[in-house]
């Protein structure tokens, strides 16, 4: 069984009724208050009993009213408690029965509590605080890097190498026929009608379908075969482990204008919208580029 905290209640006899009320509530909170009226029986050695109470207490409470420092017994108790606080580190809590009561110089720096603010100095006795407990620090999610290197060994042919964290994982070759660029240019050139709400909604749905077809065509051309499968597996691992995947495309100037963010995997997923995927934009520095591409996409184009 845990022993109750013993606290010494130093006070003027004039304030005893108020101090007893507080002491009763302290006892109800599991704190053992030393109050002279309860501790000194008729015939006891007063000095010895007070000395024992001061020695046994773990916390000193000094109840200050306007009459407190006029009483010689209280002044001696305050002196002893102050000495214990300095030499032994024993806490002393000034309890203000009167808010403007005078306090000895050595106790003036101490934080005070009002006599009616019982919960606060019960917490102080127990060393508790209502300060919220901080949650465990957030850790930065590990970041992995999936880089796709796109090369055109000949017009219309693309060789794709997939590197995960710098290690080559898959290679594949695909054909980029004129249909892909035609689809992309068609998509860019299309405009929404403004005649009526129905025609506008139908045109918007058609645009969504065109975007899906464009994404599928890009996926076949830029994530062919084993490369697409390797990226799908990397996305699965990232989601399961709570990691971040940096998805990058390293491409020739002719391929940079393609909308990499629209690419879809064979299973229909849009990597740009998958949880944990980080996409950044950086134009590749190349002498052949007179200016940044008009539509570089949201993916990082590394060089």
pLDDT given for residue 127 in this prediction: 78
Q: 169 and 78, same structural domain?
A: no
Which residues does 37 contact at the CB level (< 8 Å), separation at least 6? 16, 20
On whether residue 224 sits in a domain, the answer given is: yes
The token duo for 194 is 């403004």
Rounded-to-integer distance, Cα 151 and Cα 218, Å: 15
154 and 294: one domain?
Answer: yes
Phi, psi of 291 (to 5 degrees): -155, 165
Instruction: Give alpha helix (H) positions in the chain.
Output: 16-28, 36-39, 46-56, 72-88, 118-126, 178-189, 197-222, 225-241
Q: Which domain holds residue 74?
A: 5-126
Give the three-class secondary structure for 234.
helix
CATH number at residue 64: 3.40.50.10140
> How far is it, in rounded angstroms, from Cα 49 to Cα 40?
7
| Distance in angstroms (rounded) separating the CA atoms of residues 255 and 289 | 12
Classify the C-alpha dihedral 273-260-209-234 as positive or negative.
negative
Domain check: are 27 and 102 in the same one?
yes
pLDDT tens-digit readout, 77-117: 999 999 999 899 898 888 888 888 888 888 877 666 776 67
* Same domain flag for 99 and 147: no
Residues 173 and 243 in one domain: yes
Residue 185's Cβ-count burial label (10 Å; 0-12, 13-18, 19+) is exposed
**Chain segment 49-80, per-residue pLDDT in tens:** 999 999 999 999 989 988 888 888 999 999 99
Sequence-separated (6 or more) residues with CB below 8 Å from residue 80:
54
Number of domains the chain is built from: 2
Q: Which residues pair with residue 249 across a beta bridge?
A: 148, 301
Q: Would you give per-residue pLDDT tens digits along the chain (303 residues)?
A: 567 889 999 999 999 999 999 899 899 989 999 999 999 999 999 999 999 999 999 999 989 988 888 888 999 999 999 999 989 989 888 888 888 888 888 887 766 677 667 777 788 888 777 777 777 776 777 888 998 888 888 877 888 999 998 888 899 988 876 666 666 666 666 655 555 565 767 777 877 888 888 888 888 888 989 999 999 999 998 888 888 888 888 887 777 777 888 889 988 898 888 888 877 544 444 323 333 343 443 444 444
Of 126, 156, 183, which marks where a domain is finished? 126
Query: Is residue 265 helix, strand or coil?
Result: coil
């Amino acid at each position: 069984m845990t022993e109750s905290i013993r606290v010494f209640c130093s006070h003027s006899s004039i304030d005893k009724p108020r101090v007893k009320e507080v002491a009763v509530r302290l006892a109800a909170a599991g704190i053992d208050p030393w109050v002279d009226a309860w501790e000194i029986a008729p015939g006891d050695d007063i000095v010895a009993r007070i000395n024992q109470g001061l020695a046994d207490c773990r916390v000193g409470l000094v109840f200050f009213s306007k009459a407190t420092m006029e009483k010689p017994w209280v002044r001696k108790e305050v002196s002893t408690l102050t000495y214990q606080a300095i030499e032994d580190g024993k806490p002393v809590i000034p309890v203000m029965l009167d808010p403007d009561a005078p306090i000895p110089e050595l106790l003036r720096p101490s934080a005070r509590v009002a006599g009616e603010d019982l919960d606060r100095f019960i917490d102080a006795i127990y060393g508790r605080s209502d300060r919220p407990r901080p949650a465990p620090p957030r850790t930065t999610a590990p970041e992995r890097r999936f880089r796709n290197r796109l090369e055109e060994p000949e017009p219309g042919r693309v060789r794709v190498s997939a590197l995960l964290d710098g290690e080559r994982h898959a290679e594949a070759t695909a054909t980029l026929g004129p249909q892909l660029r035609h689809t992309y240019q068609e998509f860019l050139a299309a405009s929404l009608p403004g005649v009526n709400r129905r025609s506008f909604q139908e045109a918007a749905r058609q645009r969504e379908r065109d975007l899906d077809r464009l994404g599928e065509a890009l996926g076949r051309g830029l994530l062919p075969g084993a490369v697409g499968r390797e990226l799908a597996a990397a996305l699965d691992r990232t989601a399961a482990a709570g990691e971040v995947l940096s998805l990058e495309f390293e491409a020739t100037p002719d391929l940079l204008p393609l909308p990499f963010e629209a690419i879809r995997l064979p299973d229909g997923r849009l990597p740009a919208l998958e949880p944990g995927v980080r996409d950044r934009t950086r134009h590749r520095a190349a002498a052949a580029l007179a200016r940044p591409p008009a539509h570089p996409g949201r993916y990082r184009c590394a060089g």
